[in-house]
Amino acid sequence: MNIEIPNLTAFDEAALDSAFAQLERQARAAAAALDGEAAVDGFKLQWLGRKQGLLNEISGRWLKAAPVEAKKLLGVRFNALKAVVEALLDEALGAGPTDAALARETIDITLPGTRRLMGAEHPITRTLNEIVGVFAALGYSVGVGPEVETDYYNFESMNFPPGHPARDTQDTLVVAGQERRPQRDRLLMRTHTSPVQMRTMESQPPPVRIVIPGKVHRNDAADATHSPIFHQVEGLCVDTNITFSDLKGTLDHAMKALFGSAVKTRFFPSFFPFTEPSADVQISCIFCGGKGCRKCKNSGWIELLGCGMVDPAVFAFAAEKQPGYDPKKISGFAFGMGVERIAMMKYGISEIGSLFAGDMRFLGQFA
């Protein structure tokens, strides 16, 4: 539809009202005749186009020619006309869809919404947090350290001197290209979280009570119960007059908190370079109640962790930076347990590889 823009010869209020009223009538008539989306788009372009739109042309022709005292009057009426055009356009756009199209877009609010799947802790994370929580309730804080360690912190400071046969049992993954470094400075993937014990003692004087959760690495062949990557939680308690009885009471409480109050513990002599005396800890079988079954090899007991009193030689290394760790004045105990082993027992998992495979069907059981 052709729109005629009146010629303004005067800029008084009467002349402006007459001119803008004529334009508004034409805009309303054009909007009433719109039929279809193409016509609506044409109306929008005709009136609101940036370069060739009628409103742009009116602004250019009338505002430039208007005297200064009339510009405000003209601007007020121009904005009112623009608002009318935009309202007509909105109305035309709102009436665009057909009843059939609206019917297709109807939302049935009685239908259930799309359910978003909630995440869940991985069984290793869940077990690790549970173990840490037990010791946190006893007043232990959490210690952390690097996974890439030096030979000194991983072995030497833990009373594994160079050439010690106990190093062979660790199946260590050593970082390549370390031959020119002194033995104690060579880098490796930590084989246990024990280095954090030494780092903690070097950074703070006794008393110390920490648990150390973390990932460790060993060159183990993968099978049903072994993995080259696994997790440990170790603990360290150092103070005056710490005895083996304190160690037994602490671990007995922890095992009951993890597996139930009916669980019993027993200790067998063992060997670890960083503790003396050392012990292996067994718990009564949680599957058969100690009666004997296939999972406990009909013994009624399951070996679960290692522990012992901190060797004075370890305190001697710590005393090099913290004199408070004089083995003649203090004592302490340490313990360590594998997180995967406990997780497999608690959740009935037969293959350790299932914990690392990332199979959503398996992990979904723990959601």
H helices, E strands: number in the chain:
13, 9
SS3 assignment, position 39: helix
Dist CA 339 CA 360 (whole Å)? 21
Low-confidence ranges of the chain (pLDDT < 70): 1, 94-106, 169
For residue 302, what are its two tokens? 């399951």
Q: What is the pLDDT of residue 95?
A: 54
Q: Please list, in sequence order, all residues whose beta carbon lies within 8 angstroms of the beta carbon of residue 38, skipping any fewer than 6 positions away.
A: none
CB–CB of 96/37 below 8 Å? yes
70 HSE (CA, 13 A, CB side): 17
Q: Sign of torsion, CA 257 262 263 268?
A: positive
CB–CB of 132/233 below 8 Å? yes
The residue type of 152 is: Y
The residue type of 40 is: V
For residue 221, what are its two tokens? 């062949």
Dist CA 329 CA 202 (whole Å)? 17
Dist CA 178 CA 143 (whole Å)? 28
**Vertex 257: Cα angle to 253 and 262 (nearest 5):** 85
SS3 assignment, position 231: strand
Q: What is the pLDDT of residue 314?
A: 95
Q: What is the pLDDT of residue 244?
A: 96
What's the whole-model pTM score? 0.66
Q: CA torsion angle for 142, 148, 152, 158 (degrees, to 10)?
A: 40
Q: What is the pLDDT of residue 309?
A: 97
**Vertex 88: Cα angle to 82 and 90 (nearest 5):** 105
Q: What is the pLDDT of residue 221?
A: 84
Q: What is the pLDDT of residue 104?
A: 56
Dist CA 355 CA 115 (whole Å)? 26
Q: What is the pLDDT of residue 98?
A: 47
Cα Rg of the chain, angstroms: 40
Dist CA 135 CA 6 (whole Å)? 88
Q: Which of 311, 324, 313 is nearest to 206 (CA)?
A: 324
Dist CA 117 CA 367 (whole Å)? 9
Peptide bond into 269 cis (omega under 30): no
H-only helix segments in 145-284: 151-154, 195-203, 244-259
- The DSSP bridge partners found for residue 332 are 238
Element (H, E) at 3: none
CB–CB of 283/302 below 8 Å? yes
